[in-house]
Amino acid sequence: MFRRTLMTATAAMALAVAGLGAASAQETIRLGAAAPQSGPLAGGAAVTHWPAVRLWVQQTNAAGGLQLASGKALIELVEYDDQTNPQQAIQAAQRLATQDQVDFMVAPYSTGLNLAAAPIFAQLGYPQITGTAVTNQQPELAAQFPNMFFLLGRTGVMAEDTAKVLVDLREAGSIGNRVALVNVADAFGIEMAGISKAVLEGAGFEIVYQSSYPLGTQDLAPIIDGAKSAEADAFIAWSYPGDTFALTDQAIVQGFAPSVFFTAVATAFPAYAGRFGEQIEGVLGMGGVNADDPAFQAFSAAHTELAGQGPDFWASAATYATLEVLGQAIEAVGSADRAAVLAHLQDRANSYETILGPVDFNENNDNERYWTVGQWQNGVFRGVSARGRDGAVDVQLFDGWN
């Protein structure tokens, strides 16, 4: 009932935008999307995933659709809420493919949901280009699911680059040797902290305070107090949105200002700057973008117009880029022939132009170019460390909460 009306409305709007001039036998491509609209990850998906997906569909349709051999084809988006539940993610992928018979699917949101849905994508031959899965298992995953592509990055690389920022600062004589390392105790936090610890210790840093806290904890005064008492020069937190805010808040309250303050997921969210304003100048976080790139700025403006909020400075653009890649593969093939599009994606010789810059895939279906560390500088979260991407700016030293 709801969906029917919604879909007709979108389609009608799209047609009106496209101009009805050439609308004799207009082809449409059905694109399915299932991601959290409720449940624990709904907050993140509402910032990063949904606006980017809807924006791409809107912009593509406004431009008349995708150029196929037979003419232009509009995109029709079919959305489902997977309730942040792997069972529902599986069921939704299955439903999109076999009941709604969509031509293509947007990859789900988050590592866990992407992996849960991966067998369905693989069995039914749908390309799964992920913009929100961070893992270190690309080789194993690509072997098992040859239709799965990765745009966001590898956990190992993320941890290494974060450590490298510290090494560089230490070599420049800006910081000392003492690091406080904390993490949210779930798969992501544990994995990141594990790699981080090994890399940092390998680089001769001393971990003076290490702890984890349960998922969903927002009472983090003891952690900041612990890190402060340990007199750490650098504070690294592999955190999730709620606790990223809470850690920053507590650090400000307790006046804990080490030379490096790093929090992970949600540091790149516009809401982070919204909450803390100018106080966060110099805070480091996971991800980043080339904020000076006109392509990103145009994306940001359009995103703000559509969603009433800006994109995050990391995975929003990656999510959007996954659809750009898909769209370009479809146009290159010239039809919505899924097998051909998948074959095109699997051909490592092909590359794609996205708002992230050029994207191509290695033998593990991994686009080895990504942003790893960013920093709030003058109200913008700029990438300061990247693999294979231009535009990284220099790290500035964090000089306390203004």
Question: Considering only residues 177-216, where is the footprint of other proteins by CB under 8 A?
Answer: 182-183, 185-188, 190-191, 193-194, 197, 211-216
Beta pairing partners, 359? 352
Three-state secondary structure call for residue 49: coil
Contacts of 402 (CB under 8 A, 6+ apart): 278, 279, 281
Considering all CA atoms of the chain, what is the largest pairwise distance in Å, rounded to the nearest integer? Answer: 72
Please tell me whether residue 222 binds other proteins under the rule CB under 8 A. yes
Please tell me whether residue 309 binds other proteins under the rule CB under 8 A. yes
Cα–Cα dist 130/10, whole Å: 25
**Residues within window 342-371 making contact with other proteins, judged by CB under 8 A:** none
CA gyration radius, the chain:
21
Tell me how many residues contact other proteins (CB under 8 A): 91
**Residues within window 279-298 making contact with other proteins, judged by CB under 8 A:** none
Shortest distance, position 4 Cβ to other proteins, whole Å = 8
CA angle 156, 350, 324 (to 5 degrees): 75
Please tell me whether residue 304 binds other proteins under the rule CB under 8 A. no
Site track 89-108 with other proteins (rule: CB under 8 A), x = hit: -xxx-xx-xxx---------
Shortest distance, position 314 Cβ to other proteins, whole Å = 15
Nearest alpha-carbon partner for 334 in 23, 15, 27? 27
Would you say 46 and 94 are in contact if contact means Cβ atoms under 8 Å apart?
no
Token couple for 343: 């074959």
Please tell me whether residue 300 binds other proteins under the rule CB under 8 A. no
**Residues within window 263-282 making contact with other proteins, judged by CB under 8 A:** 266, 269, 271, 275-277
- Of 33 and 169, the one with the shorter C-beta distance to other proteins is 33
Cα–Cα dist 156/136, whole Å: 6
Shortest distance, position 274 Cβ to other proteins, whole Å = 8
Sole window of 243-251, 283-291, 294-302, 338-346 interacting with other proteins (rule: CB under 8 A)? 243-251
**Alpha-carbon distance values, 396 to 268, 285, 392 (Å):** 16, 13, 12
- Of 371 and 401, the one with the shorter C-beta distance to other proteins is 401
**Residues within window 119-138 making contact with other proteins, judged by CB under 8 A:** 119-120, 123-124, 135-137
- Of 157 and 169, the one with the shorter C-beta distance to other proteins is 157
Site track 41-80 with other proteins (rule: CB under 8 A), x = hit: -xx-xxx--x---------------------------xxx
Please tell me whether residue 141 binds other proteins under the rule CB under 8 A. yes
Measured in whole angstroms, the distance separating CA 101 from the mean position of its chain's CA atoms is 27
Token couple for 172: 């420049």
Contacts of 148 (CB under 8 A, 6+ apart): 114, 118, 121, 122, 128, 130, 141, 142, 365
- Of 49 and 389, the one with the shorter C-beta distance to other proteins is 49
Token couple for 43: 């907050």
Q: Can you say whether the dihedral through the CA atoms of 5, 11, 13, 19 is positive or negative?
A: negative
Sole window of 16-24, 84-92, 171-179, 338-346 interacting with other proteins (rule: CB under 8 A)? 84-92
Please tell me whether residue 176 binds other proteins under the rule CB under 8 A. no
Residues in the chain: 402
Please tell me whether residue 81 binds other proteins under the rule CB under 8 A. yes
- Of 248 and 354, the one with the shorter C-beta distance to other proteins is 248
Shortest distance, position 155 Cβ to other proteins, whole Å = 9
Output phi, psi for 304, to 5 deg: -65, -40
Three-state secondary structure call for residue 101: coil
**Residues within window 5-24 making contact with other proteins, judged by CB under 8 A:** 6
Shortest distance, position 215 Cβ to other proteins, whole Å = 6
Cα–Cα dist 108/116, whole Å: 9
Q: 127, 242, 310, 383: which one contacts other proteins (CB under 8 A)?
A: 242
Sole window of 21-29, 217-225, 336-344, 347-355 interacting with other proteins (rule: CB under 8 A)? 217-225
